[in-house]
Amino acid sequence: NAGVTQTPKFRILKIGQSMTLQCTQDMNHNYMYWYRQDPGMGLKLIYYSVGAGITDKGEVPNGYNVSRSTTEDFPLRLELAAPSQTSVYFCASSSRGGRVSDTQYFGPGTRLTVL
Amino acid sequence: GENVEQHPSTLSVQEGDSAVIKCTYSDSASNYFPWYKQELGKGPQLIIDIRSNVGEKKDQRIAVTLNKTAKHFSLHITETQPEDSAVYFCAASIVGNQFYFGTGTSLTVIP
């Protein structure tokens, strides 16, 4: 199992550009999450999904969009990049299926800089 | 929502000494408390977790204690080794709901 994979690892964007951060998991987890991590701060939840076709906002959703067409993939879209979106982005997944299991497995992260 | 505070923000210990990191939470309904270790350039990795129906859990050199009345929980690492150097995050959640993370503790173990 590769676990949770993210691409790209690094990206520099200009203000106003758009991009999609990719996230894939091969553990057949139904829950997936996107977090951002700013220096000296904890992880803040951007969006999450409880299954294919279902997404919901987290603490800091403004400026982002997500979709979940398959169990494996959960891409994060930035439409008009702003300097405030400079951060490290982590994707995570967990399994909940009637049996409580809250362990979240994280990908290696994408470091995004908006100039 | 839940508010999780974590202290200290940085911690340096001599190899072989113990390290303790403390977190407090605000929502008495929270019942799941994981701890994550994040090494440089990597994603957070779960090292230990505890649920509100127990007061302490151990896994080799790592232990977590929970005081529900005071709403705080702590990570204890004994016999520290240089490979324990990393950033550690605590989190709190109500099972089935989102995690709320602390701001992290950067632990340095000095050989």
Query: pLDDT, tens digit, for every residue of A3-12?
Result: 999 999 999 9
Q: How many CB pairs under 8 A join A and B?
A: 58
Checking if the pLDDT of A61 tops 60, the result is yes
Q: What tens digit of pLDDT does each residue of B12-30 get?
A: 999 999 999 999 999 999 9
List CB contacts (< 8 A) between B91 and chain A: 42
Minimal-distance CA residue of chain A relative to B3: A42
Query: In Å, how far are A2, A5, A41, B29 from B9, measured between CA atoms?
Result: 32, 29, 10, 26
State mean pLDDT over A18-32: 94
Q: Considering only CB atoms, which chain A residues are within 8 Å of B45? A: 106
Chain B residues in contact with A4 by the CB 8 A cut-off are 43
Q: What is the pLDDT of residues B2-15, one digit of tens each?
A: 899 999 999 999 99
**What is the average pLDDT value for chain A, to the nearest integer?**
91
Nearest to A58 among B45, B95, B98 (CB): B98
- Hey, are the CB atoms on B96 and A96 less than 8 Å from each other? yes
Q: Which residues of A touch B101 (CB under 8 A)?
A: 42-44
First to last CA, chain A: 36
**CA–CA distance from A92 to each of A73, A112, B43 (Å)?**
11, 17, 9
Q: Confirm or reject contact between A48 and chain B (CB < 8 A).
A: yes
Paired with A11 in beta bridges are A112
| Residue A39 bridge partners (DSSP) | none
A102/B contact by beta carbon, under 8 A: yes
Q: Taking the CB of residue B69, how many other CB atoms lie within 10 A of it?
A: 6
Q: Sign (positive/negative) of CA torsion A85, A87, A93, A96?
A: negative
Q: Does A89 touch chain B (CB under 8 A)?
A: no
Report the b/e string of B41-67 with b at 16+ CB within 10 A.
eebbeebbbbebeeeeeeeeebbbbbe
Is the Cβ–Cβ distance between B73 and B93 less than 8 Å? no
Contact yes or no for B42 and A42 at CB 8 A: no
